[in-house]
Structure 1
Amino acid sequence: MAEITFYTNPMSRGQIVRWMLEEVGEPYDLVPLDYGTGMKASDYLAINPMGKVPAIVHAGKTITEAAAICAYLADAFPAAHLAPPIDRRADYYRWLFFAAGPVEAAVTNKALGFIIPEGRERMAGYGTFDHTIDALESAVSGPGWICSDQFTAADVYVGAQIDWGLQFGTIPNRPSFDAYAVRLRDRPGYQRQRELDNALIAKMQRNSQ
């Protein structure tokens, strides 16, 4: 039995954690859940009272929220080199949590058609969608990764936001975003995640018919 149990649905943010797990390279037990009875069952609500995926249980400890799971796994498995040394973590923490906070909120609000009233931007935390996207672009405008030449958990989380956003049109196409996404898609861990989750999507769809 693997040390890590991974609760997910392949049509969810669980794809982020699956990618992170593939980058880590440690074995894990997969528990796919549907959006109806699976995520709302009492045994899963004991793991995540929100009734949402993803979640992992590692060595008896439960971690939820995709950004937190990515950061946790990077620390729990240092041999994978998915977190920079402590004295080089400024950009790592900054952009990991920027994506989990302002980017997530700005993109979601725009997709739902929520417009912040003029003059009330400070109450929203992220200000405006355009300012948030401009700031995000500055994090990935270089030729490498968020932490210079080291690929980290921040690239998994930030990269997933950008990759999905480009595919679904919730983040605008810009040369920096497009180039960053190409680098991400070349990674074997990304490619394994896509293959595994696409196969799981097909299996769950067949089983639901």
Structure 2
Amino acid sequence: MPVTSSKESTLVFYTNPQSRGQIARWALEEAGAEYRQEILEYGAPMKTEEFLTINPMGKVPAIVHNGKVVTECAAICAYLADTFPEKGLAPSIDNRAEYYRWLFFSAGPLEAAIVNRSLGVDVKEEQERMVGYGNYSQVLDVLSQRLLSSSYVAGEQFTAADIYVGSHVLWGLHFGSMEMRPGFEEYAARVSERPAYKVAKELDEQLIGNN
């Protein structure tokens, strides 16, 4: 297991198993990184002076690698792909257009649309030009078109972008925050068969079960 209890680990992973930290853990497992985990409960433990020096937002996940802090799940996915290039989690530099496009489409329009929908935020038609995602249905339709055109979001090869996009699709379908669209179910099945996904999921489920 890449998880270690060693205080000397060069990578520390701050998370809560019932958070977006599940995305970062999947990325860590795909990268084959050895890491020490620090589990933070919601509330006061995420607002301590010590943790706020790592993430002033007081949220997880965050990683500290060789003294460098990375927060935000999409950034963590991209950072790990670049830091562990032997795992092939990012296309070559001159082939990253689709990789960047869909990674940040999901970090921006997709997540915002899903969260607003879940919170009951109603964007009126005349307000859509002010909102980065336009409207919820359009975002899902655009993602559906992409997932029908290739096996993975950046092409025919799995990349770190699929960790982020795949997590949103898997969670969205499971919790009902994403309406079904053509290609979603098949894509979710492909990414959830990844050995690293299964390992990461099992680790978080064990932590949830121990609480």
TM-score range, shorter chain: over 0.9
Q: Is the 8 A contact 1:7 1:32 kept in 2?
A: yes
Task: With the length of structure 2 as denominator, give the TM-score of the two structures.
Answer: 0.94
Task: With the length of structure 1 as denominator, give the TM-score of the two structures.
Answer: 0.95
| More off after superposition, 156-165 vs 112-121 | 112-121
The reply to whether residue 32 of structure 1 matches residue 39 of structure 2 is yes
- In the TM superposition, residue 199 of structure 1 has moved relative to its aligned partner by 0.3
Equivalent pairs counted in the alignment come to 204
Q: Please, which runs of 5 or more residues in structure 1 have no aligned partner? A: none
Of the three residues 8, 14, 24, the one matched with 1:7 is 14
Aligned letter for 1:188?
Answer: P
After superposition, where does 1:131-142 map in structure 2 within 5 Å? 131-142=138-149
- In the TM superposition, residue 143 of structure 1 has moved relative to its aligned partner by 5.0
Aligned letter for 1:66?
Answer: C
Of the three residues 65, 74, 84, the one matched with 2:72 is 65
- Match in the other structure for 1:100: 107
How big is the alpha-carbon RMSD for the aligned residues of Structure 1 and Structure 2? 1.0
Whole-Å Cα distance in 1 between the matches of residues 111 and 205 of structure 2? 24
After superposition, where does 1:102-141 map in structure 2 within 5 Å? 102-141=109-148
The secondary structure found in structure 2 opposite 1:35 is: coil
Aligned letter for 1:139?
Answer: R
Q: Please, which runs of 5 or more residues in structure 2 have no aligned partner? A: 1-7
Aligned letter for 2:145?
Answer: S
The secondary structure found in structure 2 opposite 1:63 is: strand
Q: Is the 8 A contact 2:166 2:191 kept in 1?
A: yes
The secondary structure found in structure 2 opposite 1:30 is: strand
- Match in the other structure for 2:4: none
- Match in the other structure for 2:174: 167
Whole-Å Cα distance in 2 between the matches of residues 152 and 2 of structure 1? 25
- Match in the other structure for 2:63: 56
Whole-Å Cα distance in 2 between the matches of residues 138 and 109 of structure 1? 22
Extract structure 1 runs of 4+ deviating beyond 6 A: none
Whole-Å Cα distance in 1 between the matches of residues 167 and 125 of structure 2? 30
- In the TM superposition, residue 177 of structure 1 has moved relative to its aligned partner by 0.3
Aligned letter for 2:23?
Answer: I
- In the TM superposition, residue 138 of structure 1 has moved relative to its aligned partner by 2.0
- Match in the other structure for 1:187: 194
Whole-Å Cα distance in 2 between the matches of residues 154 and 188 of structure 1? 17
- Match in the other structure for 1:200: 207
Q: Is the 8 A contact 1:95 1:139 kept in 2?
A: no
Q: Is the 8 A contact 1:66 1:157 kept in 2?
A: yes
